[in-house]
Structure 1
Amino acid sequence: MPPLVKLVLIVVIVIAAVVIWGRVMGRRDPDREIVGLTDAVRAKVSREISAGHKINAIKIYREATGAPLADAKRAVDHWFVPGQGPGVRDAAASYTAGRLTDEGRARISELILAGRREDAMALYAEATGAGSAEAQAIIRTWDTSQHY
């Protein structure tokens, strides 16, 4: 094999190894703590998606999980947001229409924090007239960090 072909082959192999290494390892900051997908992070991502801020949602997801950009984008693209699924209305509409009071929201947060999600779903459904699927979807992504 001619020396020029060998040199080109070696350069191609080195470039391929660098690209593969970069994809596998990603751009990780070893000093940054990864918190994972906590309920608060899920709520933030859902709010950003609902507001139409998909790029911010991807950024929040990546900061929390350390996922590469392509994986974070794919996750956000397939993210379930209450009010955007079939047969699910938006919780904000229930609140602004006056069907869910501040007291009701506070009680739902208390129930969720106490681990009583079924009771929280029942209370949400009773207060808003929502169906069980909607109530389940809303309670699944309820942001308990809000102080109502």
Structure 2
Amino acid sequence: MPPLFRLVLIVAVIALAVVLYGRIVGRRDSEKDYVGVTDAVRAKVSREISAGHTINAIKIYREATGAPLVDAKKAIDGWFVPGQGPGVRDAVSSWTEGRLTEEGRLHISRLLEDGRREDAMALYAEATGASDTEAQAVIRTWDTTQNY
């Protein structure tokens, strides 16, 4: 085997190992403290997505979590923004379309005020026929101070 071919082969194997290591382990800096996905980070990311600035949203998410680019993009692509998103119905349309009665709406608000989120999600899903994911998304954004 010619020496030049050996050198190229060794460099290719090293490059492949570095790329795979980066994909598996990620580029998370172990020295840095990450804040994680706090309410403030969620709000910033949601604002950026709503404004159509997906790249900025990914950047904010990565700075908060230290996630690799691929993972951050997947997270942002699946991010729920209140009032937007595939298959997600907000509480206002559920009530105005007659899927959620006044009594059901008030009961859900009371459950949320009492901190019983799981019960509120189950009641919303039962009353509207929404999936568990839709119910979770609606209850997460349900504002008990509004009179829908």
Taking the TM superposition and a 5 Å limit, the aligned residue runs for 1:88-103 are 88-89=89-90
RCO comparison, higher one (Cα < 8 Å, 6+): 1
**How far off its partner does 1:25 sit?**
3.5
CA distance in 2: counterparts of 1:89 and 1:142, whole angstroms: 8
CA distance in 1: counterparts of 2:91 and 2:52, whole angstroms: 14
Taking the TM superposition and a 5 Å limit, the aligned residue runs for 1:101-116 are 115-116=115-116
**How far off its partner does 1:120 sit?**
8.3
CA distance in 2: counterparts of 1:34 and 1:11, whole angstroms: 34
**More displaced 10-residue stretch of structure 1: 2-11 or 61-70:** 2-11
CA distance in 2: counterparts of 1:18 and 1:135, whole angstroms: 43
- Report how many residues are paired: 116
Instruction: Provide Cα deviations, 1:89-118, integer angstroms capped at 9, x if missing partner.
Output: 498xxxxxxxxxxxxxxxx8xx66x73447
Which runs of structure 1 show a deviation greater than 4 angstroms over 4 or more consecutive aligned residues? 118-121, 131-136
1:22 aligns with 2:22: yes
SS of the equivalent of 1:35 reads: coil
Q: Which runs of 5+ in 2 are unaligned?
A: 93-108, 144-148
**How far off its partner does 1:62 sit?**
0.9
**More displaced 10-residue stretch of structure 1: 58-67 or 36-45:** 36-45
SS of the equivalent of 1:10 reads: helix
Instruction: Provide Cα deviations, 1:114-145, integer angstroms capped at 9, x if missing partner.
Output: 73447988xxx9xxxxx7968853441479xx
**How far off its partner does 1:20 sit?**
2.1
Q: Which residue of 2 aligns with 1:11?
A: 11
SS of the equivalent of 2:23 reads: helix
Q: Is the 8 A contact 2:49 2:57 kept in 1?
A: yes
Q: Is the 8 A contact 1:82 1:88 kept in 2?
A: no
The CA RMSD measured in Å over matched residues stands at 3.4
SS of the equivalent of 1:57 reads: helix
Q: Which residue of 1 aligns with 2:61?
A: 61
Q: Which residue of 2 aligns with 1:52?
A: 52
**How far off its partner does 1:76 sit?**
0.6
Could you tell me which amino acid in structure 2 is paired with residue 30 of structure 1? S
TM (normalized to structure 2)?
Answer: 0.57
Identity %: 70
**How far off its partner does 1:81 sit?**
1.6
Q: Which runs of 5+ in 1 are unaligned?
A: 92-107, 126-130, 144-148
Instruction: Provide Cα deviations, 1:57-113, integer angstroms capped at 9, x if missing partner.
Output: 11121122211112111211121222113352498xxxxxxxxxxxxxxxx8xx66x
